[in-house]
């Protein structure tokens, strides 16, 4: 396997991790860059651990 294939697969996995964090506090760019620094697998674990436990409660309508 060529090194370029490995780099492209790593890039795609990092992009998928970034997409998993859209709508969260750090956002796509921060999660994408962090998944380049640490592996995408560990970044997914971090995103899972820091997920919102309960959905936000909507205020009652008058």
Buried b (16+ CB within 10 A) or exposed e, 14-25: beebbebbeeee
pLDDT at residue 57 in the model: 72
Listed by start position, the domains of the chain span: 10-49
Q: pLDDT tens per residue, the chain (62 residues)?
A: 689 999 999 999 999 988 888 887 878 888 888 888 998 888 888 888 887 767 767 777 76
pTM here is 0.73
pLDDT at residue 20 in the model: 85
Tokens for 27, please give them.
């956002």
């Amino acid at each position: 396997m060529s090194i370029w294939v490995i780099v492209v697969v790593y890039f795609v996995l990092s992009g998928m991790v970034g997409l998993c964090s859209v709508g969260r506090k750090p956002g796509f760019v921060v999660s994408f860059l962090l998944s380049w620094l640490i592996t995408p697998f560990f970044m997914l674990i971090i995103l899972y651990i820091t997920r919102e436990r309960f959905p936000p409660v909507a205020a009652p309508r008058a």
